[in-house]
Structure 1
Amino acid sequence: MKNLLFLFFSLLLCSPLWAKEDKRPNFLIILVDDMGFSDLGCYGSEIETPNLDSLAANGLRFSQFYNTAKCHSSRISLLTSQYYLPAGNNSLKNSVTAAEVLNTAGYHTMMSGKWHLDNEPTDFGFQRYFGHLSGATNFFSGDDTFRLNGKPWKVPSEGFYTTVTKVDFAIDFLKEAETIDKPWYMYLALNAPHAPIQPLNEDYEKFKGKYDAGWDVLREQRMKKQRELGIFKNPVKESPRPNQIPAWDDLTPEWQSSEARRLAAVSAMIYRIDVEVGRLVKHIEEAGDLDNTMILFVSDNGACPFGTSQLDGTTKPFSTKYKWRDSSGPAWMRNAPFKFYKQNQHEGGISTPAILHWPAGLKTAKGSINHTPTHLIDVLPTMIDMSQATYPSEWPGRKLNPMTGESFLPIIEGGDVTRKNPIHFWYSTNRGLRDGKWKIASINDSPWELYDMETDRSEMNNLAKSNPELTKRMAEQWNTIAAENYTKKSAFTAQNDLDNTQYFNKRWTDYTKNKAKVANKAK
């Protein structure tokens, strides 16, 4: 009986009569994959991203918007407003998704892109879905996990490129939504620029030869542009090049050629993201919906450092046969000005470019930059406030936890937000906690480091030894949250006796190992 009543009221809320005079906003949430903090023009990049730059110039950017530093856990937090393990991890058994919440509030819900969780999006409230269930896929030939509205979808042998095709289907879904008298929610999850690094040939040609100056020069250029754009509230020092990454001038010519081509290929994929987002936004504008559509653009983690191979001079990134991987040097450059990378809970792993655009409702000055610490867990509470939806107290077949995030609607309305709770970070042996201006972080179970994020966003001055009581208090906070949300006993009671300058992940690129001479051809 309880389930029948739940279904009755859900259908009542979704009825066309209720939605006839609906003025609530549409939602377009765009999540990209493995994008570095400085990878967009409006965040300091040399890459041409005019469409996203335009959204930023007419909207709002965030300088301290956080993800979880990992693909699947960021998706869980974005969809459920919970950290990934309390939500039920990939099963989502202790949570409801944004699609389910908005469905019950009368929204038409759609998704196009990478899922990377259990079951399928159509099992979690999405009325329309196209994309792949896998965490990564070949950009030209796909894989056997592609689905269209719950049914297998065969990737065509020609004319397929994931970034383009996902937007094709997103537009098709929106065309259908335009015939339905309801507000809509679209979740677009692009797998670019995640490996395999496979740009379109036409895009790669635009960037060939543009990265021959190397990562040292280009990182400094990005940070100079960030200062000119005023990305940060206070000056940010440059984090030094890590020990395992050589100076560009110390690389062999073969390694330089390899890394320059890798950077060109990644940049071409980012350029294509911008082109396709522009095409989607143009469609929304032509449909008359742009003014009342809240667009949020974010990444699931920082740039990826995992790749141990040198590229030989004959492979082509735009071939379906070759699967170029990432590399640590380019990741360091792309995460400027921060240190570390994807999976690490230092700023390079968890900081995302974040753009919000909503002409009808955004009350901040055009082009503003907000410096409030914000997280993916805050997105669903914000949409609930904007849509007048309600987070359910129960859901058939699941044992729900409450939301963890906090609405940032006051920021959208031109005000301020003071977080009630710290932001908790944990993936594998990497940990962090952000509480006001203070942050503790640890890599590979190393001793806690303490940073003042108002004056030291690049985490250069570890204050743990000079502030032992504060460090201890925040560490206890971290353990309390971990015990409440993840495990019954305190985590990480033992620590490795090392600091982060000594730490080297075996999956990071070791530029001293591969000294084989390869053909130095810029293909």
Structure 2
Amino acid sequence: MEGKPDLFSIKRILLLMASLVVVCAFDMAEASAKPNIIVILTDDLGCSDIGCYGSEIDTPNLDRLAANGLRFTQFYNTAKCHSSRVSLLSGRWCRQAGDTSLRRAVTIPEALASAGYFTAMTGKWHLDKEPTDFGFNRFFGHLSGSCNYYRGDKTFRLNGKPWAVQEKGFYTTVANVDYAIQFLEEARAVKQPWFLYVAFNAPHAPLQPLEADYKKYLGRYDAGWDVIRSARVAKQKQLNLFGCAVEPSPRPDHVPAWDSLQPEARDWEARRMAAYAALIDRVDQELGRLFSAIEARKELDNTLIIFLSDNGACPYDRRRGGSDRDPCNADVTWSDSTGWAWVRNSPFRFYKQNQFEGGIATPAIIHWPAGLKTKPGALIHSPAHLVDVLPTLAEVAGASVPETWPGREIVPLAGISLAPIFAGQSITLRPPIHLLFSSDRGLRDGNWKLVSFQSEPWELYNIARDRTELHNVIVGNPAVAECMIKQWHDMTANVLHAPAKECAPVAAVASEQRHREWSDYSTGGSTSSRKDNGMTKGKKKSRENAK
């Protein structure tokens, strides 16, 4: 039997607080100026979708940030769009913060405003009210959960007022950076340090790339998902992201071998991945434009940049219209592919919404030449979460996080400051990471991870030995499982104040996973009854591999 988990307790919290007081990450008195701050959040980006995390997609600007900064290898999101945004902006678990209402939290821009920051946002909001109601001085973007890349939607706003998308020449990813650059000029005019939050819609469906970007990738994915995934895992091992001996998850039963697809299906899937890649490439190009504008102002050295994704790659094949047409326009709305989502989450299992590593592991790049004391290109293997961003930014900016706010009932922060890591220190103690979205649940405590797939029984993994969650050890570790299950329920009830229906099974037994709205390659459609493309050569039942 393996050892018991390092349980969440009052003693652990006191030790953690003491360690963070003794190990001060930054002497702000030595800083000549408060750092400018950029937080970049992509949408549905898989953990292996950029070059410095294993991808073949061209992302030179992000790769340059990583080479000169640091990368986390165990940074978590919440596995879903809006809940990740709540946790990022509030420093609290989504339900704890009041969900999309944020009624129990103070946000990053509200906290930074107390330290004299000009605050701006562009892109996707996906929460209640508008960004200008939660501390942002400037906002351009859409309030909705996704939008048409060429046409936008009716929820676009500019500084709290409706904004009509122009009929020609508009592209969401480009517009986000246009306004980001404009807002920074406004911040400079008033001579304030600035906080910029860029929340790209990309690469969320509909897959509508720019034509030049799309043509660049046509033909690159003809080899298929088996070959591309093997190449990504090999590159990840070369980069030592998850250890050279990491055991990649096998292709699940619900994703057929590439060679078993009919030629027309292979052609369609290769083009669909080319569209994904083009969306990601465009994000990198626009970030390069933003970084160049900042560098031209000689501000890049003292600008803290954080790059993240809101969840793992999306497997939901909800609409497949127009697969025989060019996707580079507003009228074609290609959707997601489960097969390629498996690739994009390499080397992990599962997808967006699931609390397995494939759903919650995000690329996390930190760049700050004036502030980082780590070696360029450093890999940080300490677990971290979106809830840690607010306390981290508050510390490096010298800002206080208000404990009261008019009209809200503020609850304590869930996250911890990562500033010691920036200073070349380590964080040896942290509270458990609570995982919950809908019926998918989990808990990360030390090297142990408890996880439940869509209300099915719990599974237990030793992440230090089995990062890809292939070997469920719950049967051999009943005491560990019992403690962590109780711990999850205690946190859910007493910290998140979630209703009883949110509680997952208590039984510690092995489980079998089922698909939900994943691509059904046996019929050429999906579980949502869309029938649009080629069939596999042989039909097989969709079922996730479980060990």
Task: Give the TM-score category using the shorter length.
Answer: over 0.9
Q: Indicate yes or no: 2:370 matched with 1:352.
A: no
Deviation readout 1:329-362 (Å, 9 max, x if unpaired): 0100100000000000000000001100000000
Aligned with residue 458 of structure 2, among 448, 456, 461: 448
The 2-side partners of 1:170 and 1:42 are apart by: 25
**Gap runs ≥5 in structure 2:** 1-30, 526-530, 536-547
Aligned with residue 471 of structure 2, among 457, 461, 472: 461
Q: Which residue of 1 aligns with 2:503?
A: 492
Q: Indicate yes or no: 2:182 matched with 1:178.
A: no
- CA displacement at 1:487 relative to structure 2: 2.6
Correspondences of 1:9-158 after superposition (within 5 Å): 23-158=33-168
Whether the 8 Å contact between 1:308 and 1:510 is mirrored in structure 2 is no
- CA displacement at 1:300 relative to structure 2: 0.1
The 1-side partners of 2:306 and 2:505 are apart by: 40
Whether the 8 Å contact between 1:483 and 1:490 is mirrored in structure 2 is no
Q: Which residue of 1 aligns with 2:492?
A: 482
Q: Which residue of 2 aligns with 1:167?
A: 177
- CA displacement at 1:89 relative to structure 2: 0.8
The farther-off stretch of 64-73 and 82-91 is: 82-91
Q: Which residue of 1 aligns with 2:300?
A: 290
What amino acid does structure 1 have at the position aligned with 2:298?
Answer: G
- CA displacement at 1:309 relative to structure 2: 5.5
Q: Give the secondary-structure state (helix, strand or coil) at the position aligned to 1:45.
A: coil
Q: Give the secondary-structure state (helix, strand or coil) at the position aligned to 1:94.
A: coil
Q: Indicate yes or no: 2:412 matched with 1:402.
A: yes
Whether the 8 Å contact between 1:445 and 1:495 is mirrored in structure 2 is no
The 1-side partners of 2:234 and 2:244 are apart by: 14
Aligned with residue 503 of structure 1, among 511, 514, 523: 514
Change (3 A) 1:104 1:238: same
Whether the 8 Å contact between 1:446 and 1:497 is mirrored in structure 2 is no
Q: Indicate yes or no: 2:402 matched with 1:392.
A: yes
Q: Which residue of 2 aligns with 1:424?
A: 434
What amino acid does structure 1 have at the position aligned with 2:154?
Answer: D
Q: Indicate yes or no: 2:327 matched with 1:320.
A: no
Q: Which residue of 1 aligns with 2:315?
A: 305
Whether the 8 Å contact between 2:478 and 2:508 is mirrored in structure 1 is no
Q: Give the secondary-structure state (helix, strand or coil) at the position aligned to 2:441.
A: strand
Q: Which residue of 2 aligns with 1:439?
A: 449
What amino acid does structure 1 have at the position aligned with 2:53?
Answer: Y
- CA displacement at 1:404 relative to structure 2: 0.5
Q: Which residue of 1 aligns with 2:21?
A: none
What amino acid does structure 1 have at the position aligned with 2:225?
Answer: W
Between the two proteins, the alignment pairs up a number of residues equal to: 500
What amino acid does structure 2 have at the position aligned with 1:421?
Answer: P
**Aligned Cα RMSD in Å?**
1.9
- CA displacement at 1:448 relative to structure 2: 1.1
Whether the 8 Å contact between 1:44 and 1:225 is mirrored in structure 2 is yes
Q: Give the secondary-structure state (helix, strand or coil) at the position aligned to 1:178.
A: helix
Q: Indicate yes or no: 2:341 matched with 1:341.
A: no
Q: Indicate yes or no: 2:373 matched with 1:372.
A: no
What amino acid does structure 1 have at the position aligned with 2:39?
Answer: I
- CA displacement at 1:492 relative to structure 2: 3.0
Whether the 8 Å contact between 1:105 and 1:388 is mirrored in structure 2 is yes
Change (3 A) 1:499 1:50: same
Whether the 8 Å contact between 2:71 and 2:364 is mirrored in structure 1 is yes
Change (3 A) 1:263 1:496: farther
Q: Indicate yes or no: 2:213 matched with 1:203.
A: yes
Whether the 8 Å contact between 1:138 and 1:320 is mirrored in structure 2 is yes
Aligned with residue 412 of structure 1, among 380, 403, 422: 422
What amino acid does structure 2 have at the position aligned with 1:467?
Answer: N
The 2-side partners of 1:493 and 1:442 are apart by: 7
Whether the 8 Å contact between 1:234 and 1:455 is mirrored in structure 2 is no
Q: Give the secondary-structure state (helix, strand or coil) at the position aligned to 1:411.
A: helix
Change (3 A) 1:267 1:517: closer
Q: Give the secondary-structure state (helix, strand or coil) at the position aligned to 2:235.
A: helix
- CA displacement at 1:254 relative to structure 2: 1.7
The 1-side partners of 2:185 and 2:504 are apart by: 54
